[in-house]
Chains A and B, each alone.
Chain A
Amino acid sequence: MRVVLAEDLFLLRDGLVRLLQAYGFEIAEAVADGPGLIRALVEHRPDVAVVDVRLPPSFTDEGLQAVLEARRQVPGLPVLVLSQYVEQLYARELLADGSAGVGYLLKDRVFNGDQFIEAVRRVAGGGTALDPEVVSQLVARRSREEPLGRLTPREREVLELMAEGRSNAAIAQRLFVTEKAVGKHISSIFSKLDLAPCDDDNRRVLAVLAYLNG
């Protein structure tokens, strides 16, 4: 799998390159600024891009802007955005075009190599990887209102994990239940939230996120 990496701090860039290579990824190019990132993304069309939000030369949300621009030119290009802090507004913008293959995680998640790599693979495969912090804020904001308030605590847990972009199998493993039980919870959530049921994992995640963002 080919990766384009954007990170301005040399130490972190180096660490990420080594981590990704150790898990068998091929680094197409590692860049250190926004303009370089757009060029690399359009040129290499990688299987996935791993991008730091804050990049030179402006040291603002240059990475995010570059990714959004690249996705306009190459629709559906899978991108995983990393940041020192997560911002609802940015998650919303990443998800705004409605196509899958989006990730938005806190930089600290890199510390847990296995889970981070799992997230990179998920995004590359057209899935979603949202930071638990983003999701819990999203859910907390709507939880005072109906119908989200009607979910049982367990259903709420499943909803949050699903919104993070995890598969049924991963949710089952996380909650120590069977996949079948997870499926039951999910259909109950969908009927309570009045969402049309669907079998495709990625589309289901997007439906849930669209609901939470609405």
Chain B
Amino acid sequence: MALARRTGIGLLRGLALALLTPLGMPLFVLRIFGLILVPLGMGLLVFVPSTLAVRALANLHRRLAGQWLGVPVPQPYLPPPHRGVIGLVKRMVTDPATWRDQLWLLLNVPVGFFLGVLPLGLLANGVRGVLTPFAWSPNGAGPRPGALGGVDYVGIPLTSRENAVAAFPIGLAFLVALVWLTPWIQRLHGRFHHALLGPTRRSELASRVRRLTETRADAVDSSAAELRRIERDLHDGAQARLVAMGMNLGAAERLLDEDPAAARALLVEAREASVAALQELRNLVRGIHPPVLSDRGLGDAVRALALASPLRVEVEVELPGRLDPPVESAAYFAVAELLTNATKHAGARQAWVDLKHEDGVLRMTVADDGHGGADPSLGTGLRGIERRLGTFDGTIFVSSPVGGPTVVTMEVPCTVRR
């Protein structure tokens, strides 16, 4: 039953895709026409809309290839340039994906159509073959003209009862082939779309380079900002206190003989300033790289974070060893930021942190029972995490419906040092 259902769905989907193929022809012609007219100026009015239409059609097929045929096809287009309409047109003309789309429009008519209707053809031949012996009439010399029509079946002249009976197993074979081959045909159909609509190795590399350029710029920016913050903190904090301490000590030195009591008071002040300066340096160090992180690694550092948090935090860690220090640090600060958000913005009482390393990927889940409503596109904190993890090709996914709960899942590909 499930087999019949699967085959039926495959057949209908193939048919639907086959019916879409003629749509490509007018677009194909229109775009060529538009391109020829571009030098005359007017062509743009044809070329740009037709290209957009082609892309919409191609994107529909990319989506359907993933949903129906089991072959997801990513978009290969170059991102639009920043400047103007002319740049946009230029990018459209020079993007190799545009021309691979055009080729696809052409080839999809025979190939896409054929692969789409193939299951239907198998079904029709199968049904006809199976029914032939029952429809064949022994009266008269030839086959009875009827619903099944025709004078032969797949090349067998239906002139005798034996031949008509022989059509039965052949028809059965067609039906078996239909059930057997439909998933395979679908995959082949998907691969056809992937070959022309998917990114080539070259465009894949190009988009990888683009992504690396972006994340590298982000990394440089954020580390520069971080250095400025450290400089400012040192300047306003510990450095200022050390200056005050030096002045107090100098004054105490001068007063030592004349007014020992005043000198003593200044010395006490100096000692207190040194304690405060140390406190500030400690906080600063914690913000740069918490010592427990280098001592014990991510698992214990997150446990320490949980202990310091005003929330009740349950921590679950499954890490087979230490991660690379930069990944550890990015992951730690991501979790710290999320716990702070849960406390400050979500009004949570309890939070859960789950760290796991599996198949070369660090998976981190931070959940809280707060009132939700966190929007990654608005919160600078979440954007910051995204950027920080992006440097390591990491991703963040936020689910935070209004009313809660908030669940944030982060993944960073990385290796474990055992």
Q: Which residues of A contact B (CB under 8 A)?
A: 54, 60-61, 84-85, 87-90, 92, 107-108, 111-112, 137, 140-141, 144
Contacts and interface: CB of A to CB of B under 8 A. Distances in A.
A178 to B, nearest CB: 28
Contact of A88 (B278, B296, B307): B307
Contact of A84 (B274, B291, B303, B307): B291
A60 B296 contact: yes
Contact of B292 (A89, A92, A144): A89
A60 to B, nearest CB: 4
Contacts of B286: 85
Contacts of B300: 89
Interface in B295-325: 295-296, 300, 303-304, 307-310
A141 B339 CA distance: 14
A60 B292 CA distance: 8
B310 A108 contact: no
Nearest to A64: B295
B271 interface: yes
16 contacts: A54-B291, A60-B294, A60-B295, A61-B292, A84-B291, A85-B286, A87-B292, A87-B304, A88-B308, A89-B307, A92-B307, A108-B274, A108-B278, A111-B275, A141-B308, A141-B309
Contacts of A61: 292, 295-296
Interface residues on B, range: 20 to 34
Contacts of B295: 54, 60-61
Given A61-B295, A108-B275, A111-B271, A141 B303 contact: no
B304 A88 contact: yes
Most buried by A among B275, B291, B300: B291
Interface string B386-418: 000000000000000000000000000000000
A137 B310 CA distance: 9
A60 B296 CA distance: 8
A111 B274 contact: yes
Contacts of B310: 140-141, 144
Nearest to B303: A89
A8 B319 CA distance: 31
B282 interface: yes
Contacts of A137: 307-308
Interface string B18-49: 00000000000000000000000000000000
Contacts, number: 46
B156 interface: no
A141 to B, nearest CB: 6
Nearest to A85: B282
Nearest to A107: B278
Interface in B260-287: 271, 274-275, 278-279, 282, 285-286
Chain A contact residues, majority secondary structure: helix
A33 to B, nearest CB: 16
A140 B308 CA distance: 9
Given A85-B282, A111-B271, A111-B275, A141 B307 contact: yes
Interface string B332-373: 000000000000000000000000000000000000000000
- Closest 3 A-B residue pairs measured CB to CB? A88-B307, A60-B295, A61-B295
Contacts of B292: 61, 87, 89-90
A137 to B, nearest CB: 6
Contact of B291 (A87, A112, A140, A144): A87
Interface string B66-90: 0000000000000000000000000
Contacts of A89: 292, 296, 300, 303-304, 307
A60 B291 CA distance: 8
A203 to B, nearest CB: 24
Nearest to A143: B310
Contacts of B294: 60
B271 A84 contact: no
A37 B285 CA distance: 27
A90 B309 CA distance: 16
A111 B279 CA distance: 14
Contacts of B309: 141
Contacts of A54: 291, 295
Nearest to B279: A108
B159 to A, nearest CB: 91
A111 B294 CA distance: 27
Nearest to B291: A85
A119 B38 CA distance: 88
Nearest to A89: B304
Nearest to A137: B308
B264 to A, nearest CB: 14
B321 to A, nearest CB: 15
Contacts of B282: 84-85
A214 to B, nearest CB: 12
A101 to B, nearest CB: 23
Nearest to A112: B271
Nearest to B307: A88
B415 to A, nearest CB: 21
A148 B274 CA distance: 34
Interface string B114-149: 000000000000000000000000000000000000
A84 B294 CA distance: 14
B64 to A, nearest CB: 53
Contacts of B296: 60-61, 89
A144 B296 CA distance: 29
A193 to B, nearest CB: 18
A141 B304 CA distance: 13
B316 to A, nearest CB: 16
